[in-house]
Structure 1
Amino acid sequence: MGKLRNLTIFLVFIGAVALLINSVQTPSEANAAKGNLNMKKVDVDEFFADHDGTFVLRDMKKERAFVYNSERANQRFAPQSTFKVPNALIGLQVGAVEDEYDIKYWDGVEREIEIWNQDHTLGSGMRYSVVWYYQAMARDIGEKRMEEWVQKISYGNQDISGGIDQFWLSSSLKISPIEQADFMGTLYKENLPFDKDVMNTVKRMMIQTEGDNYTLYGKTGQGTGIGWYAGFIETKDRNYVFVTNIAGTSTEAKNITIDILKKYHLMTR
């Protein structure tokens, strides 16, 4: 009995030591926990003092999300030029364009933005949000294939009835900021029904800026009284999808997003 009692005491002691070891964080673990963004405490009210708007931020590792102004976040709006992202994916997938260097030649029509008045590639068309390039590509894709793919990716209300080169521009197609975040998150994870090289090409075209510790991917969109900025940011240990939608311009939406990302140290040097 004495030996059994001593063995029991020894086993209890070993279990207690193991529990203590498991409960103590190493300095690196403690620092990592300290660095993680607490989604419940993200405070962005100050950035929307002059705009009715919404902001969605989704942690791609922990699948947690922060939503500012959930009412607007669930309201559908025309995607405007944020649709260039799925448009490019579809165009590449069906062979309407070969790659990001595929050139379309300017038709000589003077448009309101000077840089649009020249030849462009798929990549430069994304970078400078060249509407005519993506309209021409949509016509090359055609209504049948476009509708098929918009439905495959469950993009917003999936309504392209507003015309093959107009439906995303203040027309029939509508998507909510929450749905935009879902779409961007699925693209980031490369879980959309496109070839991997197609998704990698479009993601590469979306790169806006790179720092030592982050890469920012995004696309603006603007219509009458509406501004979008949607995309994702990769850092060394955290990856987030973001969507900003405001009653304002795309430039303002982008600036608000960047200010928020900087405030929470997601964009550093």
Structure 2
Amino acid sequence: MKKLKNLAVLLVLICAAVLITYVQSPSEANAAKDNLNVKKLEVDEFFSDHDGTFILREMKNNRTFIYNNERANQRFAPQSTFKVPNALIGLQVGAVKDEYDIKYWDGEEREIPIWNQDHTLGSAMRYSVVWYYQAMARDIGEDRMEEWVQKISYGNQDISGGIDQFWLSSSLKISPIEQADFMGTLYKENLPFDKNVIKTVKRIMIQAEGDDYTLYGKTGQGSGLGWYVGFIEKDNRAYSFVTNIDGTSTDAKNITLDILKKYQLMEE
């Protein structure tokens, strides 16, 4: 009789365990999907044609994956990725009023057709219009620019290469790791700028949106170097990313998007 009672209890426990597994498994699966284990990312396949580095950092717990650690710690000219801090500084000091502030084309024909027209702060970020951000840098001036580059500890903080040239294959240098740090701090809005300034710059960095993700990014290119930096919000998580390669910014962006798609951080 005692054995029968024990058997009955065992059967009840087994049934309960099966029921719990059935009820919990969907949420557990979703949790596993959301909780990306960045330590297991494999990205070698995306760098078969380029020497480069890739960094992905989960914002919530700062878990970081680095491909090619040596290059990740080398400093390079930021090129047009500097448009992000440039926009933050320009807005903060009043060199531009908002994302709709227009600068008028000077009539000089440049190599990229879309640059040959009037632009706003937002459209100049979207199309990486160098002349707009050079003009804004001149309006900011060397003293204020140096003050703010130092305040945000941006790379080597060296703007000696000229107020409208220092970030373009010149004196200013920043490592991919430092870029990832900066992008993470921007996402968390922990930079020493007014909140409305930070939110404006984040808004004009948006490059793609899906049902459950928003991609923020900025390219940079020059002297055989390609950058793509930014962050992505996916469901209730966020990740900063940096790709830096010997190649073009288009290649760097495509590598980044391919990796994000492979690990289901954005749609195919």
TM-score for both structures, normalised by structure 1:
0.90
Q: Which runs of 4+ in 1 moved over 2 A?
A: 24-29
Matched, 1:117 2:116: yes
Matched, 1:263 2:266: no
Q: Deviations over 1:134-160 (max 9, x none)?
A: 000000000000000000000000000
Matched residues in 1 for 2:211 and 2:171: separation? 41
Q: Deviations over 1:223-245 (max 9, x none)?
A: 01100000000011221000000
Q: Which residues in structure 2 correspond to 1:33-52 (within 5 Å)?
A: 33-35=31-33, 36-52=35-51
Aligned counterpart, 1:103: 102
TM-score for both structures, normalised by structure 2:
0.90
Q: 1:220, 1:228 within 8 Å by CA — same for their partners in 2?
A: yes
Give the share of equivalent positions with the same residue, in percent: 81
Q: 1:208, 1:217 within 8 Å by CA — same for their partners in 2?
A: yes
* One-letter amino acid matched to 1:151: Q
Matched, 1:90 2:100: no
Aligned counterpart, 2:7: none
Q: 1:213, 1:268 within 8 Å by CA — same for their partners in 2?
A: no
Aligned counterpart, 2:201: 202
Q: 1:228, 1:243 within 8 Å by CA — same for their partners in 2?
A: yes
**Unmatched segments (≥5 aa) in structure 2:** 1-16
After superposition, the Cα gap between the structure-2 partners of 1:62 and 1:32, relative to the gap in structure 1 and judged at 3 Å, is farther
Q: Which residues in structure 2 correspond to 1:163-178 (within 5 Å)?
A: 163-178=162-177
Q: CA deviation at 1:61?
A: 1.0
Aligned counterpart, 2:240: 241
Matched, 1:80 2:79: yes
Aligned counterpart, 2:30: 32
Q: Deviations over 1:15-54 (max 9, x none)?
A: xxxxx9xxx9933541233212111110000000000000
* One-letter amino acid matched to 2:128: S
Aligned-residue Cα RMSD (Å) equals 1.5
Matched residues in 1 for 2:27 and 2:143: separation? 52
Q: Deviations over 1:147-183 (max 9, x none)?
A: 0000000000000000000000000000000000000
Matched residues in 2 for 1:111 and 1:79: separation? 21
Matched residues in 2 for 1:28 and 1:156: separation? 44
- The SS at the match of 1:193 is coil
Matched residues in 1 for 2:262 and 2:190: separation? 30
Q: 1:104, 1:133 within 8 Å by CA — same for their partners in 2?
A: yes
Aligned counterpart, 1:3: none
Q: 1:60, 1:240 within 8 Å by CA — same for their partners in 2?
A: yes
Aligned counterpart, 1:250: 249
Matched residues in 2 for 1:178 and 1:29: separation? 34
- The SS at the match of 1:82 is helix
Q: Deviations over 1:178-221 (max 9, x none)?
A: 00000000000000000000000000000001011110000000
Aligned counterpart, 2:191: 192
Q: CA deviation at 1:254?
A: 0.1
Aligned counterpart, 1:8: none
Matched residues in 1 for 2:26 and 2:61: separation? 19
**Unmatched segments (≥5 aa) in structure 1:** 1-19
Q: 1:100, 1:122 within 8 Å by CA — same for their partners in 2?
A: yes
